[in-house]
Every structure is written in C-alpha cells, then in structure tokens.
Amino acid sequence: MNPEIHFQPIEDLTLTTAQQEIKDLSDKLLKWGREYYEEDNPSVEDYVYDANYARLVALEKAFPSLVMPDSPTQRVAAGNSVQADSKGLKKVVHPVPMLSLGDVFSVEELYEWDKVTTKNAGAQQAYNLELKIDGLAISLRYENGRLIQASTRGDGTIGEDVTANVRTIKEIPQHLNEDLTIEVRGEIYMKKDVFAQLNAKRDEAGKPVFANPRNAAAGSLRQLDPKITAERHLSSFIYYTAQNDVLGTGTQSGVLDRFRQLGFPVNPDNRVISNMDQVKAYIDEYTEKRAFLPYGIDGVVVKVNDLAMENELGNTVKIPRWSIAYKFPPEEALTVVRDITWTVGRTGVVTPTAVMDPVLLAGTTVKRASLHNPDYLQEKDVRIGDTVTLHKAGDIIPEVGQVILDKRPEGDDQPYPIPQYCPSCGSKLVHVEGEVALRCINPECPAQIKEGLVHFASRNAMNIDGLGPRVVTQLIDKKFVKKISDLYALRADQLLQLDKFAELSADNLLNAIENSKNNSVERLITALGIRGVGAKAARVLAAHFKNLRNLQNASAEQIADIDGIGQVMADAIVQFFDSEKVGQLINELENFGLNFDYISSSSSDTSGYFYNKRIVLTGKLNHWTRPQMQNWLEDHGANVSSSVSSKTDLLIAGTDAGSKLKKARQLGVRVINEQEFIDLSDAEK
C-alpha cells in the first residue's frame, strides 16, 4: 500500500493555473534533483519524485506553449547543474552524452512502449532484459587496455573525475584482458550488507546515516580522499558502450559477453527474450527475487538486442528510443506509531526508535524502525499516534518514510519532545559539536557499561569466551560488575549465582578472563571502545607506540602523523584519554596485571623477510584464510595493502588470481605463491 499523491484534473486547469503549477513543479524537481545528484541526500522518496515528474510531463503535453528550455523534462539529469561542484572534483566532458532512460511504472505502459518500438522498427524485436541496479552511473575510459579515466554522469554532458576513487574498487579492472581503447559505462553500487554495516557504524558514531545504498555509493565515490572510498567497499556492474564496433559483436547480449571476456564485472541475470509475455514473466520473477539479491535493484531495463536496430532507432534529446526502464512500485506499508523509545549505545549515543503496529514488508514482519537522531526525528516530524509510510532502505533496514498528515489525530499540534536526560542513568544529555547525535557522557551510565562490556569481551577485542550479552546483563543486574575493571575481580561464588552456571562453566569463564590479561595491547586498545578506532587502527597504533602509556600520553599531532590514522581519529583518542574516569580505568587495569605492551614476533627481530614490506594478497588460499595470513604478516612487521602499486614490495597470489597479479607483473613486483609464503614463514619461526 502506498500513499496516494493527488493532483487537480488537467482539464480543470486554466492557462494561468497550469503555468503556476508548472513553475512550482519545476522548482521542486530541480531542488530534489540537486539533493539526489549533487548532495547524495534526497529529501523525498523516489516515487514522490517520479509522480511529480510524470505530472509535469502531462502538463507540458497538455500546454505545450508553457514548456521552458530549462524545464527538468528537457535535462538529462534534472537539477544537476554543470556549475555545481560541491565536492571540488575536476570536471570531465563526455564525448558521447550519458543519457537517462525513459521510465514506465506499469506493465500496461511497457506494452505501449513495445507497440511504438515495433512500429518504428518495422517488426517485433528481441529484447535483452537487465536488472536496473540502484547505484550511480559511471563512465570508464581505457587506452590500450589501461584505465585512464573514470567519471560520473553529472548533467549528462559534463561529469566529475573520480579516477583515483574508482581505482580503489577491486571489481573494476585496471588493465583489460585485451589491449583495447574503449569507453564503457555501468553502475557503481553498494551491497546491502556493506550498507547495513556502514550505517550501523555511522549511527554509533553519531554521524548522519545514508538513506539508501545508492546515496551511500554516491557519497563514497565522490570523496576527495580515495582512502575513504576504499573503506566503503563499493562494487560495480558494466553494461554499455557506444563503441560496439570495437567489440566485434552485433547484439547487446553479445556486448555483455565480451565485457566478461575483458574482465569487467557483469550482472549475470540478463536474458534475451522474443515477446512481451516473456518480459512480464521476467519482471514477475525478479519482483519476487528482489528482496533476496545481495544488491539493490529498482526495476528492469528492456533493450533492443539488435545493435544495428538500436542505432537506427536513435535517441531523443533526453532518452534513447531503443530502451526503457520499468520501475518497481515502491514496496511500502502504512502503519501507526504507538511509541517512541530511546536507547543508549556503547559510545553514549541516544537513539530514538519508533514502535509501530506490526506490518508485513518485503517478506518479514516489521514493528520497529530507528529514527536515528533528534534532527532526523524533527525533520520527519513523527509523533505518537501518527500514521506513517514504512519501507526498507536497501531492502533490509526498516525506515519511516513520511507522516500522513491527513491521518494525524486531532488536537496533536505539538512536536514530539526531545529528552533532556539519559533514559538509563538520568544524566543531562549533550549535543557534541559537529555531530547530529544526542549523547550521554556519563562513563558510569549502566546502559553504556553493558554495551561496553559486551564490546570489551568480543572476539576482535579481548576475546573473552563465554562473556556474551546474556551473561553481562546478569552481572550488571546482580551488581557484580559496575565498570570494566570489575571483570577482573569476579569470583567463582558470584558466577555460580548466574543462570545456567555450574562449576565448570564458572571456571572456564574465570580462566578466559585471566588469559585475556596476556593479550597484545592492540586488543585492549580495540576493547576500550575509542570512537572510530577499530581493530586495524588499534594494531597500527600499538605497533607505533609499543605501549598503552605511550599512546595515552601522545599528542593529537603525533597520532595524526601516523599513516592511516588522520586528525579526526587522533582528536577522538586524545579526548578519550583526557577523561579522568578513563585515567582511573587504565590504572585499575594495570593494577590487575593486564599487558600494556605490543607483542609481535617482529618487535625483537627486524631482520625478518616480511618486516617493513608493503604486501598485497590475492586469489584463493588453501592452507590459510585471508585474515589469518594478514594477521600473521602484520605481526611480523608487514604492511598489508588492498591494491597493487609501484610501492608494493610483494604480491602473495593464491589460485584464480586476476587483475592484481597481472598488474604486479607489469610493474615488476615480486610474486610468490602460497607454498612459497609457507616456506618463508616457516623460516621465521
């Protein structure tokens, strides 16, 4: 069920009222287009934009004298002006414009498009069907098989140079399997699981979350720092070139096959069909499969498969005549907000959650949706008792779309109040400068202690087996633990009072806690829960400073100078250690005998083969897992990187190695296989 968007019947409009509505629609569409294309932060759902755009098209058709040259219907990418350069990226002129596709929103409209296409072509055409990936359009230029430029669509004529960022996307080949000179086009997207992890991290850090994977991909690709793009783990599918003659094929399906041969990532679900009933069956099939795909799709693209006929049909000023996009109707439901609850996370971020009447959405029953932060809550203006639209961002994360104001209970004229005090400990809440989050800064807040203890004991941190959320909750409820250091004072008689604990399980947990004292200090740095400091950054910090006290006493400038850290993380680290409560905690942990030193086999021997080498891993490994090998190398002083460059010292190649192996050989980088690595690692034992 979707909320209806009502417009006055066109036949009831005068020339004057039509002119005013066209102006209003144009202004709205241009604004929404800027938000979508330039700012990667749309304020309305896609279906709202589409409905208003369709209304503008209908009005201009009914009143052709009112069509203006700068109308959104006359632009390739409405709202994305050439002059705008919010990211400061270099401009790129597309030799062949990057056109948008025409849209239809029903099977009936699709059949009408087929009738027109068949008439213009003189015969029924075979169509190549492709999934419409919900991402950001990209152009890639190769000369003699080597990637030389990557650019966004921009306004269709002028885009932005994102070459350095695209080079961090592992799926996009730096060198083709043939030495061709060609420009290809496709989509940059973010997988659903990557999107969910990214938003969870941003939410926890008090940063604005992305509305959907498309916005996340666009925001990640248009960064000035390629390191940020690399951390976002983007993906790609390639599906088009205007230079079909270079590939030596006469069909669109053949183009995709040639792309695969060249090493491009190509979506595997294209299908060539011969009639519209098969198109309908394909749409029905992927309407069902959509929720289970690892990436987001928002429709199906239908393309004339014969490239000669494609060329004959040509393009309008805005769209190709040989292709059309069928867009899925938005999968939304209406529900009623019954409550808004506030929870406190490990870092003190206080998050509002809407509790709603249960509804079935994308195959699951949903009754809760995060409202993220006070700004988001106030922007949506959600109130208890409101009827709201609910959808799944990226087909996975329940999200409130908009309030249906016509259904708001009478007399409810006050916005929902933002709490001033922590729902867990009652402390005054604060807005940290530069964040959208509301925070509790009381380090002894019970909710933070619970989440902090779970994180402290987790596998990537202190790795205390048996100390999960259920046990932590009991320890806090019984007041056996009030802060992290209390873990190291636990006694067997206390553990025996916990549910499902006997002597053996109590002894096992006490042994795990005791053994954690001997961890190398990077685990403790991770466990402390410093904002923005994960396991990888903790290892870098530990390897550099060697001891926790050295890190504790370091300045922000000293920390920021370390490769891979940066100023934001450095400021967070200094702010963390400046806390009096943190100082007390560090002293208590030291008194309990926790190791504060970096333990590495390379710390006493800098002569090992791998020490101080920049190493890249690629291909499938048989005797090691990728994380095991990376951890071993870093323990022995290596710097493991994700991409091959002239600075790479060594590539360790498993089976089925691809573009990284080819590039390493071209650059003269030494390459060894897994067995050679094993032989070298055995020599360092």
**pLDDT interval class at 586 (50, 70, 90):** very high
- What pLDDT shows up at residue 82? 37
Specify the DSSP element, H or E, that contains 208: none
Residue 49 sits in a domain whose CATH number is 1.10.287.610
**58, part of any domain:** yes
- What pLDDT shows up at residue 604? 41
Q: Which residues pair with 92 in a beta bridge?
A: 159
**227, part of any domain:** yes
Q: What is the pLDDT of residues 133-184, one digit of tens each?
A: 989 999 999 999 999 999 998 888 888 999 989 998 989 999 999 999 999 9
Q: What one-character DSSP code corresponds to residue 34? A: I
Residues 581 and 619 in one domain: no
Residue 412 has pLDDT above 50, yes or no: yes
Residue 84 has pLDDT above 50, yes or no: no
Residue 199 sits in a domain whose CATH number is 3.30.470.30
Instruction: Give residue 254's identity as a one-letter amino acid code.
Output: G
Both tokens of 38, joined, read 């330039």
**275, part of any domain:** yes
DSSP string, 271-300: EEESSHHHHHHHHHHHHHHGGGSSS-EEEE
CB 642 within 8 A of CB 170: yes
**pLDDT interval class at 2 (50, 70, 90):** very low
Q: What's the whole-number mean pLDDT along residues 554-573?
A: 87
**432, part of any domain:** no
Q: What's the whole-number mean pLDDT along residues 480-503?
A: 92
CB 618 within 8 A of CB 654: yes
Both tokens of 187, joined, read 């989509």
Residue 89 has pLDDT above 50, yes or no: yes
Distant-in-sequence, close-in-space partners of 11: CB < 8 Å, separation ≥ 6: none
Residues 186 and 313 in one domain: yes
Q: What is the pLDDT of residues 595-619, one digit of tens each?
A: 999 986 544 455 678 877 889 998 8
Distances from the Cα of 625 to the Cα of 47, 139, 599, 618, 621, angstroms = 44, 35, 22, 11, 6
- What pLDDT shows up at residue 275? 92
CB 334 within 8 A of CB 1: yes
- What pLDDT shows up at residue 151? 94
**pLDDT interval class at 79 (50, 70, 90):** very low
Residues 264 and 374 in one domain: no
Both tokens of 367, joined, read 């009754």
C-alpha 344/C-alpha 427 separation (Å) is 12
- Of 197, 181, 190, the closest CA to residue 241 belongs to 181
- What pLDDT shows up at residue 193? 87
Residues 400 and 258 in one domain: no
Q: What is the pLDDT of residues 171-228, one digit of tens each?
A: 999 999 999 999 999 999 999 888 888 888 887 777 778 878 888 888 888 887 788 8
Percent pLDDT > 90 in the chain is: 42
C-alpha 609/C-alpha 680 separation (Å) is 8
Residues 213 and 300 in one domain: yes
Count of helices and strands (H, E) across the chain: 25, 22
**438, part of any domain:** no
**156, part of any domain:** yes
What's the pTM? 0.57
Neighbours of 9 (CB within 10 A): 6
Residues 408 and 499 in one domain: no
C-alpha 160/C-alpha 162 separation (Å) is 6
Q: Domain of 493?
A: 446-591
Distant-in-sequence, close-in-space partners of 479: CB < 8 Å, separation ≥ 6: none
Q: What one-character DSSP code corresponds to residue 381? A: T
C-alpha 546/C-alpha 658 separation (Å) is 37
1 against 611, higher pLDDT: 611
Neighbours of 194 (CB within 10 A): 21
DSSP string, 443-472: TT-HHHHHHHHHHHHSTTTT--TT--HHHH
C-alpha 564/C-alpha 336 separation (Å) is 46
Lowest mean pLDDT among 47-51, 127-131, 371-375, 560-564: 47-51
**196, part of any domain:** yes
Q: What's the whole-number mean pLDDT along residues 537-565?
A: 90
Q: What's the whole-number mean pLDDT along residues 336-353?
A: 90
Distances from the Cα of 351 to the Cα of 208, 385, 389, angstroms = 12, 19, 20
CB 640 within 8 A of CB 634: yes
Q: What one-character DSSP code corresponds to residue 579? A: -
C-alpha 170/C-alpha 174 separation (Å) is 9
C-alpha 312/C-alpha 250 separation (Å) is 13
- What pLDDT shows up at residue 99? 85
Backbone angles phi, psi at 217, to 5 degrees: -65, -45
Specify the DSSP element, H or E, that contains 651: strand 650-653
- What pLDDT shows up at residue 229? 86
Q: In what order do the strands lie in the sheet with 235-240?
A: 146-152, 136-143, 182-189, 235-240
Distances from the Cα of 41 to the Cα of 77, 397, 672, angstroms = 16, 17, 45
Residue 372 sits in a domain whose CATH number is 2.40.50.140
Q: What is the pLDDT of residues 24-58, one digit of tens each?
A: 888 888 888 777 665 656 667 766 777 788 888 88
Percent pLDDT > 70 in the chain is: 93
Residues 68 and 95 in one domain: no
Catalytically annotated residue among 31, 87, 91, 132: 132
**Chain-centre distance for alpha carbon 604:** 40
Residues 95 and 60 in one domain: no
Please give the tally of structural domains in the chain: 5
Query: Taking all residues of the chain, what is their mean pLDDT, rounded to a whole number?
Result: 86
Residues 286 and 309 in one domain: yes
Residue 669 has pLDDT above 50, yes or no: yes
How many Cα neighbours within 13 Å face the side chain of 274? 0
Please list the alpha-helical segments (H only) found in 233-275.
Answer: 244-247, 252-262
**pLDDT interval class at 253 (50, 70, 90):** very high
C-alpha 321/C-alpha 335 separation (Å) is 40
* β-strands 323-327, 639-641 pairing: unpaired
* β-strands 127-133, 136-143 pairing: unpaired
Distant-in-sequence, close-in-space partners of 476: CB < 8 Å, separation ≥ 6: 446, 449, 450, 453, 482
**pLDDT interval class at 548 (50, 70, 90):** very high
DSSP string, 54-75: HHHHHHHHH-GGG--TT-GGGS
Residues 161 and 43 in one domain: no
The label of the residue with tokens 């599906």 reads 239
* β-strands 182-189, 235-240 pairing: antiparallel
- Of 317, 352, 302, the closest CA to residue 118 belongs to 302
**70, part of any domain:** yes
* β-strands 614-618, 639-641 pairing: parallel
Residue 80 has pLDDT above 60, yes or no: no
Q: Is 132 a catalytic residue?
A: yes
* β-strands 297-304, 323-327 pairing: antiparallel
Residue 411 has pLDDT above 90, yes or no: no
- What pLDDT shows up at residue 269? 94
Degrees to nearest 5, angle at CA 127 with 191 and 317: 80
Residues 277 and 396 in one domain: no
Sign of dihedral through CA atoms 52, 53, 56, 62?
negative
Residue 669 sits in a domain whose CATH number is 3.40.50.10190
- What pLDDT shows up at residue 88? 63
Both tokens of 533, joined, read 């400091």
Lowest mean pLDDT among 278-282, 368-372, 525-529, 561-565: 561-565
- What pLDDT shows up at residue 231? 84
Backbone angles phi, psi at 667, to 5 degrees: -90, -5
Both tokens of 666, joined, read 């071209």
Q: What is the pLDDT of residues 236-247, one digit of tens each?
A: 999 999 999 999
Residues 558 and 623 in one domain: no
CB 206 within 8 A of CB 436: yes
